Chain A
Amino acid sequence: MAETQTPARPAPPAARSERPTAPARRRRPPRATAGTARLAALLVSPTLLVLGVVVLYPTIVALQQSLYGTRRLDPKTGFVEDSEPFVGLQNFAAIFDEAGSRFWNAFWNTTFLTVTTVLLETLIGVAMALIMHRAFRGRALVRASILIPWAIPTAVTGLLWRWIFHSDGIANALIGHQVLWTTEGFHAKVAVIVADVWKTAPFVGLLVLAGLQVIPDEVYEAARIDGAGVLRRFRHITLPLVKPALLVAVLFRTLDALRMFDLPYILIGAQKTSVETLSMLAQDQAANVRFGPASAYAVLLFVYVFLIALAFVRLLGADIVGDDGKSARRRRRLPRRPQGVAA
Chain B
Amino acid sequence: MTLPASLRKCLLFLGVAAVVAYCLAPFGWMLVSSLRRTSDIFDNSPLPSPPSLENYRAVFDPSQAFTRALLNSLVVAGVTTCLALLLATFTAYAMARLEFRLKRLVLTLIIATSMFPVVSIAVPLLKLFVGLGWINTYQAMIVPSMSFTLPLAVWNLTAFFRQLPDDLEQAAMVDGCTRGQAFRRVIVPLAAPGLFTTAIITFIAAWNEFLIALSMTNKPEMQTAPVAISKFSGATRFETPFGSQMAAGVLVTVPLVIVVLLFQRRIVAGLTAGAAK
Most buried by B among A258, A320, A330: A320
Contact with B along A127-163 (1 / 0, CB 8 A): 0100110110010111111111111111110111101
Assess whether A148 is in contact with B260, with CB atoms less than 8 Å apart.
Answer: yes
Least Cβ–Cβ distance between B257 and chain A, in angstroms: 6
If A207-B276, A259-B117 touch, does A143 touch B268 (CB 8 Å cutoff)? yes
**A9-B104 Cα distance, complex, nearest whole Å:** 14
- Give chain B nearest CB distance to A234 CB in angstroms: 12
| Separation of A330 and B257 alpha carbons in the complex (Å) | 35
Most chain B Cβ neighbours within 10 Å, of A31, A173, A207, A278: A207
The 5 closest A-B pairs by CB, nearest first: A322-B277, A155-B226, A210-B272, A210-B276, A61-B124
Give every chain A residue within 8 A of B33 (Cβ-Cβ).
Answer: 163
Q: Find residues 137-194 in chain B having any chain A CB closer than 8 Å to their own CB.
A: 143-144, 146-147, 150-151, 154, 158-159, 162-163, 165-167, 170, 174, 179
B1 sits at the interface (CB 8 A): yes
Distance of A36 Cα from B12 Cα, bound (Å)? 53
Most A CB contacts (10 A, CB to CB) among B93, B98, B249 go to B98
Residue-wise interface mask of A (254-276) relative to B, using a CB-CB cutoff of 8 A (1 in contact, 0 not): 01001101100110000000000
Is B125 close to A, CB under 8 A? Answer: yes
Which residues of chain B have a CB within 8 Å of any CB of chain A? 1, 12, 15-16, 18-20, 22-24, 26-27, 29-30, 33, 42, 44, 87-88, 90-91, 93-95, 97-101, 103-104, 106-113, 115-128, 143-144, 146-147, 150-151, 154, 158-159, 162-163, 165-167, 170, 174, 179, 204, 207-208, 210-211, 214-215, 225-227, 229-230, 242, 245-246, 249, 252-253, 256-257, 259-261, 264-265, 267-269, 271-273, 275-277
A148 near B257 (CB under 8 angstroms)? yes
Chain A residues with Cβ below 8 Å from B249 are: 152, 156, 159-160
CB contact under 8 A between A159 and B245, given known A61-B128, A207-B275, A283-B119: yes
Q: Beyond A51-B113, A54-B146: 16 further Cβ-contacts under 8 Å?
A: A29-B170, A37-B100, A47-B150, A51-B151, A131-B18, A143-B265, A153-B225, A163-B246, A249-B275, A285-B123, A291-B124, A298-B119, A298-B123, A320-B108, A341-B265, A341-B272
Assess whether B246 is in contact with A147, with CB atoms less than 8 Å apart. no
By beta carbon, the residue of chain A nearest B107 is: A321
How many A-B contacts if CB must be within 8 Å?
Answer: 337
A209: min CB distance to chain B, Å? 8
Chain A residues closer than 8 Å to B16, beta-carbon distance: 131-132, 135, 138, 142
Contact of B207 among A10, A153, A341 (CB under 8 A): A153
- For the complex, give the distance between the alpha carbons of A135 and B9 in Å: 9
A261-B211, A335-B272 known; A146 and B23 CB under 8 Å?
yes
Chain B residues with Cβ under 8 A from A211's Cβ?
276
Are B98 and A36 in contact, with the CB atoms below 8 A?
A: yes
CB pair B252–A156 under 8 Å, yes or no, is yes
Q: A40-B98, A142-B19, A163-B30 are in contact. Are A291 and B264 (CB under 8 A)?
A: no
Q: Are A54 and B121 in contact (CB under 8 A)?
A: yes
Contacts of A335 in B (CB 8 A): 272, 276-277
Taking a contact as CB atoms under 8 Å apart, the answer to whether A325 and B23 are in contact is: no
A245 part of interface (Cβ distance < 8 Å)? yes
Within 8 A of B (CB), among A1-22: 5-7, 9-10
Query: Complex Cα distance A146/B260, Å?
Result: 10
Q: Which residues of A contact B (CB under 8 A)?
A: 5-7, 9-10, 26-27, 29-32, 36-37, 39-41, 43-44, 46-48, 50-51, 53-55, 58-59, 61-62, 65, 128, 131-132, 134-135, 138, 140-156, 158-161, 163-164, 166, 168-170, 173, 198, 201-203, 205-207, 209-211, 229-230, 244-245, 248-249, 252, 255, 258-259, 261-262, 265-266, 278-279, 282-283, 285-287, 291, 294-295, 298-299, 301-302, 305, 309, 319-325, 330, 333-335, 337-338, 341-342
Cβ contact within 8 Å between B162 and A323: yes
B199 to chain A, nearest CB (A): 15
Q: Are B253 and A149 in contact (CB under 8 A)?
A: no
A129–B210 Cα distance when bound, in Å, is 29
